[in-house]
A and B are shown apart, each in its own frame.
Chain A
């Protein structure tokens, strides 16, 4: 049987897959391998079958970069997805990891079962706006509410691509699409939904901005519970007209950052270029830290009301804000709530799973 690769939900800070055991002095050495001795090709997936220029492929590349740079052990991570273009993408990164491409909108339930059966593994789920915002919104909210430790990425393009261009629940009001016509309904803001459901890590970013996406994924991997990343990912085929808020041109022109962002592993020293006073530091559950440079709005990502206010204002003005919107690692994750020990449930064998013959006799004799 496999042995646990990371420390899971027992509330213990330990050497996780994220840092590995490489001496600190080696961290800055230029090398072709990462902390755990793997090269970037060890994180590769299959060739993508998505459209050329699809934003989702950039996100796959950014997941690879984040996991490679952190030294995440591929065998210690499970990839999950639902159904849709986005949900195909786990095949296109980290082939050495187990993957479960589940049902439309049902990835959260599969992930909860798998990561409770083995809570020592990490999870990255990749979903889309249809998968999360429509058919799967119930499971999404309940996943967040239970605070399963996993990274939940929404590759949000505001359109159903695989079925050729219908509106999704995150499409803009008034938006026009070639086949679907005009959208008369307001979009659901999945970041707001996540915060309201007590999510402890909520960020929004743009697939064309790897400098922001990569550290967000790293920080999300270090978060104690469910980390939701809503990444705007233009659909080059069905939703890339310049006036769409989910297009490349719009994203490039309107991306308003609420903070600049750095992720620092637990063994690293903080070396940031930000001037003192501009910097806010947030320590994550595993000892790693997020270093934020506040921008004009002065958003404090530990302030839930501020995050909701910011998102609501942006939503009403159809503004596109990116960055770490809310972070709070206080709430125990699902494995902690279940009181699980170090051994994954999946590793117990008959000696621990089948109570003794005497215990059955005792129960039966206690019956009437």
Chain B
């Protein structure tokens, strides 16, 4: 039957497979290339791409997958790029060696983007006006094979994606068994969909074996580099971290790319957080009417003593400015996840950026400043997921966790999460007995010299425990006050509290290299690109040190790092070099040697860009 299918392969503008022009490769390229699948949004290619990624991962080869998708439900071009890296580099690459073209709308561009010596594996109904002589072509009868294997026309589009999985698996040497394992994971152990998908994969693989002559050098081979690692996205990791951090109240409003944080919470909370004795939930999740209300609810719950959080992205952060300022001034614990996307305005909702740093740091009118955590990968999303609550309750203030779309929504290889070893820090909360023993308390008095007052929780059963929370000026006893000295005392104490925060937030991670004149500073999702760039620079004889920021406000480690290097490159994904500005403010004396190296094209950063940028600035200056 498969033979028959080839006979019916639709004619197209590429008369024959142009293998004659491509000599058979002399050297194989093993486990070191990128694959891009160009499909239409909403066509079900996620399953296929996920299966490819996970199958490679299970073969022990380091991989990463980046979904470059439109803000659209169905029909627009979308790309999924998989990097296979024997050396363990997982940043995105600009170069694609193997292009899988299933979308006629983007095929022309996709065709041009294949690296010389690469592969163009395409649905045979795609017409190309020109052909290149420097790449290999494989035309696949995608539609026919899908039709042959799936009677239901509605499911055919989905199953068609498995045709390229099968064809590719033959061409590069993917193990069927691992594809099956990946699909089994995807379909949560349901044998039926796995079988129907695998039937297509195997048929397409067999067809490729019979009909294609391999003219490209790209192969995969088993390695053992992924022992003990998992594949995970940062939003799920952050949700799990929050659950192990004891989140008991969540209010949120749907927004790309933060929605999957709430999905993760809704998925895992019922499994993990039902009181075994009463069978009642130890949490509540509310989908709010908007982001204003979401943070308002979170503030109310945090004030009343629940571990309380929300998740959002840029436009939501703008709406939350009002309550963020109240939370800072009224001193209410709350955790706000901002999975950053490209702004300003609606911007590019499905593209990555690190453009909310200044906004989050100073969110609110008047003199407002916030603690901001900067996770660099999913494992850190888990850690900061729980740690953010300890900081929020210890410091009695809103804590922002600034993830981004790349960490949040893409699949990353990760070490397993570490169980929190520190007991929960519920901060300075007085019981009724303590209030009675002390004959009352002053909510905003700096008893311990760290700027943090003591609080009581609503419902504390003594007449002395209650206080009135407000966003207007107040004295140490929480009474309304418009006196200048009360105002200044309070603001001075809040500044003192921020100094305490400086000592409590996660310190930067540093790699100081002996003799390096160049220091690189980065944060968040740029980490893999920076690490790879450093390796490339080192290969050229250029030594670099590296400091990865993990929180605002900065601490002394940053000052020492700045002092210890001659030229500092600030790597960040935004147009205004936001963290560069903060670093210069932090240490004006070092400002002349701090160089902005910011990039903002909406895509995950590449090592290539980092190397080129540093090389260019090294020559220029």
When distances are taken between beta carbons in the complex, the residues of chain A under 8 Å from B460 are 1-2, 75
Q: Which of A111-119, A265-273, A283-291 contacts B (4 or more CB under 8 A)?
A: A111-119
Query: Which single member of B290, B300, B469 contacts A113 (CB below 8 Å)?
Result: B300
Q: Do residues B471 and A101 form an inter-chain contact, with CB atoms below 8 A? A: yes
* Minimum C-beta distance from B195 to chain A (A): 19
By the criterion CB–CB under 8 Å, are A100 and B300 in contact? yes
Q: Which residue of B lies closest to A121 (CB)?
A: B459
What residues on A are CB-neighbors of B307 within 8 Å?
A: 353
Interface centre among A101, A343, A367, by most chain B C-beta atoms within 10 angstroms, is A367
Interface residue from A4, A342, A349, A363 paired with B459 (Cβ < 8 Å)? A4
CA distance A121 to B303 in the complex (A): 14
Chain A residues with CB under 8 A of B283: 345
Chain A residue, CB-CB nearest to B294: A109
Chain B contacts for A313, CB-based, 8 A: none
Return the CB mask of B407-429 against A: 1 if under 8 Å, else 0: 00000000011011001101000
Asked whether B119 is an interface residue with its Cβ less than 8 Å from the other chain, the reply is no
Give CA–CA (A1, B275) in the complex, Å. 19
User: Would you call B424 and A353 a contact (CB within 8 A)?
Assistant: yes
* Complex interface: stretch among A215-223, A235-243, A333-341: A333-341
Does B182 sit at the interface, judged by CB under 8 A?
A: yes
Question: In the complex, are the beta carbons of A142 and B289 less than 8 A apart?
Answer: yes
Query: What residues of chain B lie closer than 8 Å to A146, measured between beta carbons?
Result: 286
Q: Mark B50-94, 1 if CB is under 8 A from A, else 0.
A: 000010011000000000000000000000000000000000000
Bound-state Cα–Cα, A354 to B268, Å: 13
Closest to A141 in B: B289
Decide if B458 touches A114 in the complex (CB within 8 Å). Answer: yes
A99 at the binding interface (Cβ < 8 Å): yes
Contact check: which of B423, B432, B457, B469 meets A100 at CB < 8 Å? B469
Flag if A113 contacts B466 (CB, 8 Å): no
- Which residue of the partner chain A has the closest CB to B326? A103
The reply to whether A2 and B248 form a contact with Cβ atoms under 8 Å apart is no
Partner of A98, one of B232, B243, B466: B466
The answer to whether B286 touches A116, judged by C-beta atoms less than 8 angstroms apart, is yes
Docked complex Cα distance between A248 and B308 (Å): 45
**Chain A 345-358 per-residue mask, 1 if CB under 8 angstroms from chain B, else 0:** 11111101111010
Q: Size class of B's contact patch?
A: 35 or more
Contact A348 to B248, CB < 8 A, known contacts A2-B459, A5-B461, A113-B299: yes
Asked if A142 contacts B293 (CB within 8 A), the reply is yes
Q: Is B570's CB within 8 Å of the partner chain A?
A: no
A91 an interface residue at 8 Å Cβ cutoff?
yes
Contact indicator B246/A113 (Cβ below 8 Å): no
Are A368 and B54 in contact (CB-based, < 8 A)?
yes
Structural contact, A341 and B298, CB atoms closer than 8 A? no
Judging by beta carbons under 8 Å apart, are B246 and A98 in contact? no
Contact of A120 among B232, B303, B426, B459 (CB under 8 A): B459
Residues of chain A lying within 8 A (CB to CB) of residue B292: 106, 109, 139
Contact A1 B431 (CB under 8 A): yes
Residue with the highest number of chain B CB atoms closer than 10 Å, among A106, A110, A347:
A110
Specify which chain B residues have a CB less than 8 angstroms from the CB of A120 in the assembled complex: 459
Please state if A75 and B462 are interface contacts (CB–CB under 8 Å): yes
Task: Given A142-B289, A347-B305, check contact A103 B296 (CB 8 Å).
Answer: yes
B281 partner residues in chain A, CB cutoff 8 A: 338-341
Q: Is the CB of A350 within 8 A of B246?
A: yes
Q: Which chain A residues border B57 with CB–CB below 8 Å? A: 368
Q: How far is the CA of A205 from the CA of B461 in the complex (A)?
A: 33
Chain B window 241-253, contacts with chain A (Cβ cutoff 8 Å), 1 for yes, 0 for no: 0011110110100
- Set of chain A residues within 8 Å of B303, measured between Cβ atoms: 100, 110, 113-114, 117
Complex: A2 Cα to B431 Cα, angstroms: 7
The verdict on A102 contacting chain B, using a C-beta distance below 8 Å, is yes
Give Cα distance in the complex from A96 to B463, angstroms. Answer: 5
* CB within 8 Å of A: which B307-322 residues: 307-308, 322
* Contact between chains at B463 and A99 (CB < 8 Å): no
Q: How many A-B residue pairs have CB under 8 A?
A: 233
Q: Does A359 have its Cβ within 8 Å of any Cβ on chain B?
A: yes
Q: Is the CB of B248 within 8 A of A345?
A: yes
Query: Does B259 sit at the interface, judged by CB under 8 A?
Result: no
The reply to whether B280 and A339 form a contact with Cβ atoms under 8 Å apart is: yes
Q: Give the docked Cα–Cα distance between A339 and B285 (Å).
A: 11
- CA–CA, A339 and B245, complex, Å: 22
Tell which of B54, B289, B301, B431 touches A345, judged by Cβ atoms closer than 8 Å.
B301
Contact with A along B264-288 (1 / 0, CB 8 A): 0000100011010010111110101
Contact B301 A114 (CB under 8 A): yes
**Which residues on A sit within 8 Å (CB–CB) of B323?**
103, 106
CB distance from B465 to the nearest CB of A (A): 7
B residues less than 8 Å from A352 (CB atoms): 275, 282
Decide if B458 touches A109 in the complex (CB within 8 Å): no
Q: Is the CB of A112 within 8 A of B469?
A: no
Judging by beta carbons under 8 Å apart, are A110 and B280 in contact? no
**Smallest CB–CB gap between A174 and chain B, Å?**
33
Question: Measured between C-beta atoms, what is the minimum distance from B411 to chain A in Å?
Answer: 9
Does chain A have a CB within 8 A of B480? yes
Picked from A91, A103, A138, A349, the residue with its CB within 8 Å of the CB of B480 is A91
A310 to B419 CA separation, bound complex (whole angstroms): 61
Asked if residues A118 and B305 are in contact (CB atoms below 8 Å), the reply is: yes
- Which A residues, 300 to 358, have Cβ-Cβ distances below 8 Å to chain B? 338-350, 352-355, 357
| Most chain B beta carbons < 10 A, residue from A100, A111, A352 | A100
Question: What's the least CB distance linking B62 to chain A, in Å?
Answer: 14
CB distance from B364 to the nearest CB of A (A): 11
Whether the pair A117, B304 counts as a contact (CB closer than 8 A) is: yes
Does A103 contact B322, Cβ atoms closer than 8 Å?
yes
Q: How far is the CA of A90 from the CA of B470 in the complex (A)?
A: 11
Complex alpha-carbon distance, A249 and B461, angstroms: 43
Also in contact, A341 and B459, with CB within 8 A (given A106-B292, A113-B251, A142-B289): no
User: Does A97 belong to the interface (CB within 8 Å)?
Assistant: yes
Neighbour of A355 across the interface among B243, B302, B426, CB < 8 A: B243
A368 contacts B417, C-beta separation under 8 Å: no
Q: How far is the CA of A75 from the CA of B466 in the complex (A)?
A: 7
A139, B458: Cβ atoms under 8 Å?
no
How near does chain B come to A358, taking the closest CB pair, in angstroms? 9
Q: Which A residue's beta carbon lies closest to that of B415?
A: A364
B278 touches A99 (CB 8 A): no
Min distance, Cβ B560 to any Cβ of chain A, angstroms: 35
CB distance A110 to B297 under 8 Å? yes
CA distance A90 to B467 in the complex (A): 12
CB pair B289–A2 under 8 Å, yes or no, is no
User: What residue of chain A has the Cβ atom nearest to residue B185's Cβ?
Assistant: A368
Whether the pair B300, A367 counts as a contact (CB closer than 8 A) is no
Answer yes or no: B468 CB below 8 A from chain A CBs: yes
CA distance A216 to B305 in the complex (A): 31
- Nearest CB in chain B to that of A338: its residue: B284
Q: Which residues of A contact B465 (CB under 8 A)?
A: 2, 75
Contact B469 A96 (CB under 8 A): no
Cα(A238)–Cα(B431), bound, Å: 45
Q: Which of B273, B284, B467 contacts A340 (CB 8 A)?
A: B284
A353 touches B300 (CB 8 A): no
CB distance from B329 to the nearest CB of A (A): 11
Residue in A110, A139, A348 whose beta carbon sits within 8 Å of that of B282 in the complex: A348
When distances are taken between beta carbons in the complex, the residues of chain A under 8 Å from B395 are none
User: Which residues in A have some Cβ–Cβ distance to B below 8 Å?
Assistant: 1-5, 42, 74-76, 78, 90-91, 95-103, 106, 108-118, 120-121, 138-139, 142, 146, 338-350, 352-355, 357, 359-360, 363-364, 367-368
What are 29 A-B contacts with C-beta separation under 8 Å?
A: A2-B457, A75-B465, A97-B466, A98-B467, A99-B469, A100-B470, A102-B471, A106-B292, A108-B293, A109-B294, A109-B296, A110-B296, A110-B299, A112-B286, A112-B296, A113-B249, A114-B458, A116-B306, A118-B304, A139-B289, A139-B292, A340-B281, A345-B282, A346-B458, A350-B424, A352-B282, A355-B243, A359-B272, A368-B57
What are the 7 tightest A-B residue pairs by CB atom distance, in nearest-first order?
A: A113-B300, A109-B296, A341-B280, A353-B246, A346-B305, A113-B301, A113-B297
- Apart from the given pairs A42-B463, A101-B472, 11 other A-B contacts in the complex at a CB distance below 8 Å: A2-B432, A78-B458, A102-B326, A109-B297, A112-B251, A113-B306, A121-B459, A338-B281, A343-B275, A346-B248, A360-B419
